[in-house]
Amino acid sequence: MKLKLDANGNAVVDNGMPVYVYDDGSEKPFDASKAVTTISRLNGEAKGHRERAEKAEEAAKKFEGLDDPETARQAIETVKGLDGKTKAEIDKVRKEIAASYQPQIDAAKQETAAAKAALHQAVVGGAFARSKFIQERTILPPDIAEATFGKDVSVDEKGRLIFKDASGAVIYSRTNHGEPADFEEAIEVRIGSYERKDSILKADQKGGTGAQPGTSGKTATKQMPEAEFDKLSPKDQAARMAEGYVLT
């Protein structure tokens, strides 16, 4: 990004804050005070995380090789009663113990995977369904938008939606510096950098989303009747939009 200058070469100021022009052509005032505060807070959090990690690592050294302390404790109790038994008998007992826990472990993994999938669908799917940007500025139904860009969205440990760009980098807010962009800001940035954005933006929105003049993207040449498009599955519809098709 670069500082915006007026005709006299002076910095443009908005509400006391210098205005910067981003690479995609959008303009945002830079709140230096807020940015410094955020950076200081993040540095403090990082220091706290590092100190806790160091303490945890030191404590964990005492239990190296023990992935499940509770199972290890029970195994120790079991072994105490194996005095005088042969190696074959001991191995049999070990296998029986392991086999008794495996169904519980498998069930827990399945429940966790199902819960994560349900959470992702509820939170991420809901964000696409409620998005005003998708509804008002694109031709995509919410489910097609999710099929196309949903893979770039995840839910972090704080329950926030984290949107990533095509390269896999987190999309950060241009107004709330140091924080991930909220869904509406992130989807606008993501579609603004999409190679075939002109095929999914409404006619009066093409060239928008902060794009530089003259760089609004490649012109789509493939066409498909809307009635034929509606017969496709959401996955195939997303694939056609990604290929640059426009509906007629």
Per-residue pLDDT of 182-240, as tens digits, reads 999 999 999 998 988 888 998 876 655 554 333 334 444 577 787 787 788 877 777 77
Q: What is the predicted pLDDT for the residue at 225?
A: 81
Lookup: tokens for 236 = 């195939």
Length of the chain: 248
Listed by start position, the domains of the chain span 2-30, 68-119, 131-217
Q: How far apart are CA 105 and CA 67, in angstroms?
A: 13
H or E element at residue 126: helix 87-130
Cβ-proximal residues to 26 (8 Å cutoff; 6+ apart), any chain: 174, 192, 210
Q: What is the mean pLDDT of each run of 10 residues along the chain (248 residues)?
A: 85 85 84 82 82 79 68 70 68 79 81 74 87 93 92 87 92 89 93 89 68 40 75 77 71
Cβ-proximal residues to 34 (8 Å cutoff; 6+ apart), any chain: 176, 177
Q: How far apart are CA 162 and CA 123, in angstroms?
A: 11
Lookup: tokens for 120 = 């992702």
Predicted TM-score of the model (pTM): 0.44
Q: What is the predicted pLDDT for the residue at 2?
A: 85
Q: How far apart are CA 149 and CA 186, in angstroms?
A: 11
